Amino acid sequence: MKTRKMLEYTAVFTAGAVLYSAIEVLWRGYTHPSMAATGGACLVAMYAYDKTHEKCPLPAKALYGACLITSAEFVVGCAVNLLLGQRVWDYSGFRFNLLGQICLLYSFLWYLLSIPAFLLCRFARRLFRAGSCEKKFNMI
């Protein structure tokens, strides 16, 4: 049981890391390893939230996702960009930014991105449920 859960969450983390990195490369032409890790961690958190809040409407889940991603971006940005000087991104040219690490425009974009992310979480949850059902029936 623990191995199955570990596999489930590892797959979700990997999907988040790969998909977020791909989106970043398509959006701005490059990415950074810290962004892959952040994308993976955010998708795992969204997946866990989706599992425990199945009845929550998608717009509310997307708001949760936007707040989660914005918060993660701020923490990682302060560490990677401000403390370590990596200059992975800088939103200081955008209106309504905080220390150049987050801004209102990208929080809105994270909201929009959270909608397909939660749909992906729902799909992944169904896949993992189907896999566990198949195992139960094969054992009988």
What CA–CA distance (Å, rounded) separates 95 from 88?
19
Please state which of the ranges 68-77, 89-98, 123-132 shows the lowest mean pLDDT.
123-132
Beta bridge partners of 103: 97
pLDDT tens per residue across span 6-29: 999 999 999 999 999 999 999 999
pLDDT tens per residue across span 62-76: 999 999 999 999 999
- Name the pTM for this structure: 0.90
Please, which residues have CB within 8 angstroms of residue 24's CB and are 6 or more apart in sequence?
A: 30, 31, 35
